[in-house]
């Protein structure tokens, strides 16, 4: 590294994934699989791009919680749902925020904004353990700060309306909630892998530009499906930030679901993409 500042690609800025585009990249022999990120990379700590990426994750997650929790509060405080954006608007707030924030931060940190996404990319060896832990810490701190600002605006309403905290809703079991979080996170992380696949980017020049769109749309669709079940977590930082600032007993009763579920879903998506879709373990290396 030696002080050289480099752009971040999927959080592993040491390894370039630039490939030819168009017809010259249509065959497997023209594509070289990028090397896996090292488990530990002490040299990253001396690079400004490492710290810059963490700051970007903090700010992005802060803005994500600020926008989305305010939207949830606006819907929940209205006596008539016909005068609010409703569940569809909440889903759009989450999906649209991710679309915009991933677009803004992808070239700096990879635009994870979610510990589950970071965990899945780490399992696929797209970034080092050092960077993954740093990202998760910064995402969590950003989420706490974002929810805290919302509470500062409207403390009474925040506490009265649940603070946007994730819980398993009445009529559903803990198993239902866990399953919804696993499947929902699988959809998100699988979309992230597909939208940022280096081989696909090499073949289709438009893919890197469009990558934030399917990721945001996946978040939107998952929220439409699972808001009635858990309020939709699929992001442990989002769930933890809202729970800490709200800090009522029922917000913590099922909180483990919003860590275990997303991490299982992310792991399954990473395994599916790397082993089934890309078949990386079965490829012969020259």
CB 107 within 8 A of CB 7: yes
pLDDT of residue 65: 97
The closest alpha carbon to 238, from 142, 104, 156, belongs to: 142
Q: What is the mean pLDDT of the chain?
A: 85
Whole-angstrom Cα distance, residue 286 to residue 277?
21
pLDDT for the residue numbered 18:
45
pLDDT value at 9 more than 50: no
- Where is mean pLDDT largest: 20-24, 44-48, 278-282? 44-48
Query: What is the mean predicted confidence (pLDDT) over 236-246?
Result: 96
DSSP H helices in the chain: 48-77, 86-105, 115-123, 129-153, 155-160, 174-195, 198-203, 207-210, 212-230, 236-246, 249-253, 257-271
pLDDT digits (tens, 9 = 90+) for 247-268: 988 889 999 999 999 999 999 9
Lowest mean pLDDT among 13-22, 192-201, 228-237: 13-22
Q: What is the pTM of this model?
A: 0.84
For residue 29, the model assigns a pLDDT of 45
- How sure is the predictor about 186, in pLDDT bands with cuts at 50, 70 and 90? very high
- As a whole number, mean pLDDT of residues 9-32 equals 46
- The closest alpha carbon to 274, from 219, 213, 192, belongs to 192
Longest dimension (CA), the chain: 66
Q: What is the pLDDT of residues 211-230, one digit of tens each?
A: 899 999 999 999 999 999 99
Of the pLDDT bands very low, low, confident and very high (cuts 50, 70, 90), residue 79 is low
Q: Domains in the chain, ordered, with CATH?
A: 43-277 (1.20.1080.10)
Which of the four pLDDT bands, split at 50, 70 and 90, describes residue 271?
A: very high
Whether residue 36 has pLDDT greater than 70: yes
Question: What SS3 class is residue 125?
Answer: coil
What count of other Cβ atoms lies within 10 Å of the Cβ of residue 171? 8
pLDDT score recorded for residue 154 = 84
């Amino acid at each position: 590294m030696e002080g050289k500042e480099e752009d971040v690609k999927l959080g592993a800025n040491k390894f370039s994934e630039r490939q030819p585009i168009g017809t010259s990249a249509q065959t497997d022999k023209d594509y070289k699989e990028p090397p896996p990120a090292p488990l530990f990379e002490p040299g990253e700590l001396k690079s400004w791009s490492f710290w810059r990426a963490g700051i970007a994750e903090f700010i992005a997650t802060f803005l994500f919680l600020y926008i989305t929790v305010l939207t949830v509060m606006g819907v929940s405080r209205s006596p008539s749902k016909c005068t609010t954006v409703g569940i569809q608007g909440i889903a759009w707030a989450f999906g649209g925020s991710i679309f915009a924030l991933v677009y803004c931060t992808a070239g700096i940190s990879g635009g994870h904004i979610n510990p589950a996404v970071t965990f899945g990319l780490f399992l696929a060896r797209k970034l080092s353990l050092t960077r993954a832990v740093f990202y998760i810490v910064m995402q969590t701190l950003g989420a706490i700060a974002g929810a805290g600002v919302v509470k500062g605006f409207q403390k009474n309403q925040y506490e009265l309306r649940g603070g946007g905290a994730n819980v398993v809703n009445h009529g559903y079991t803990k198993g239902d909630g866990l399953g919804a979080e696993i499947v929902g996170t699988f959809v998100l992380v699988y979309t992230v892998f597909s939208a940022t696949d280096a081989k696909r980017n090499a073949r289709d020049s438009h893919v890197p530009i469009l990558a934030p769109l399917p990721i945001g749309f996946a978040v939107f669709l998952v929220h439409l499906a699972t808001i009635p079940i858990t309020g939709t977590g699929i992001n442990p930082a989002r769930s933890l930030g809202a729970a800490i600032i709200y800090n009522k007993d029922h917000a913590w009763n099922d909180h483990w679901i919003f860590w275990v579920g997303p991490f299982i879903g992310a792991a399954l998506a990473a395994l599916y993409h790397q082993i089934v879709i890309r078949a990386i373990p079965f490829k012969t290396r020259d």
